[in-house]
Amino acid sequence: MSITLPDQPLRSLERADTVQQCINRMDWSVTPVGDRSLWPQALIAAIDTVLGASYPVFLFWGKEHTFFYNDAAASLFPVAQQPGHLYTQALYAWPDMWYRIQSIVDEVLQGSPTPLLEDLSIPIYRKDTIEEAYWNLNFSGIKESTGTVAGVMVACIESTKKVLLLREALEAKSQLKEVLEGSDLGTWELDPVTMVFNCNQKTKEIFGLSSDQYVDLQVAVDMIEQSD
């Protein structure tokens, strides 16, 4: 069910902002969502939410996936940074993103539970270059007055720093392990949270254990006590 509204800017569109100005200027009658004066209240409220967010948010409306986004999102893909342009199809605006989430958007439109994707790899356009980036994506179904899911909102929180720091830590640990394995030193480590004990092959040799023998914390303590 749609309601007829005056052909005037939405509340969020009154702010002087590139994406918002483009939405106001665009002839929506030639798009799948039709003239703005006939937009359902659910779509108007959803666009208000998207444009009011300080972080990247996308909105896909209807089975045609009409694409809306805010300025924070526009800063991530190059075509959206062209003055005066508004892209209503995600495939042409940011294909790397669309290919990764299209199936999920379709599932949410069909009423499936809304998922949270963590650390999803989606390259972005930043400082005139394509950069590696990772995202936590939160999907929300937008219902019309009939209760039917008519759109999907996707909130994007960047997790690149966390992913890269974890990768660096794992690489450093792997390099250290290689160095220690190549040395003549017996080494071990104990996780203070899980109390899981690990040792290298040299440690097993020192205590006369086979290379494939599992050494838990109690075995390690007993070996140390015996050596004393």
Q: What are the pLDDT digits (tens) for 39-71?
A: 999 999 999 999 999 999 999 999 999 999 999
Does residue 122 share a domain with residue 205?
no
Q: Could you report the per-residue pLDDT of 80-122, keeping only the tens digit for each?
A: 666 566 778 888 888 889 999 999 999 999 999 989 999 999 9
Q: Which two tokens stand for residue 145?
A: 């007055």
- Which domain-ending residue is among 108, 130, 162? 162
User: Whole-model pTM?
Assistant: 0.70
Does residue 205 share a domain with residue 122?
no
Does residue 90 share a domain with residue 197?
no
Count the Cβ atoms, other than its own, within 10 Å of residue 108. Answer: 23
Does residue 147 share a domain with residue 213?
no
d(CA 222, CA 228): 10
Number of domains the chain is built from: 2
Does residue 147 share a domain with residue 57?
yes
Give long-range contacts, CB 8 A cutoff, 24+ apart: 90-93.
90/58, 90/60, 90/65, 93/67, 93/69
- Structural domain that includes position 213: 183-227
Give long-range contacts, CB 8 A cutoff, 24+ apart: 42-45.
42/142, 42/143, 42/144, 42/145, 42/150, 42/151, 43/142, 43/150, 43/151, 44/5, 44/10
- Which domain-ending residue is among 112, 130, 162? 162
Q: Which residues contact 68 (CB under 8 A, 6 or more apart)?
A: 23, 46, 47, 50, 58, 59, 60, 61, 88
| pLDDT at site 194 | 77
Sign of the torsion formed by the C-alpha atoms of 73, 76, 81 and 87? negative
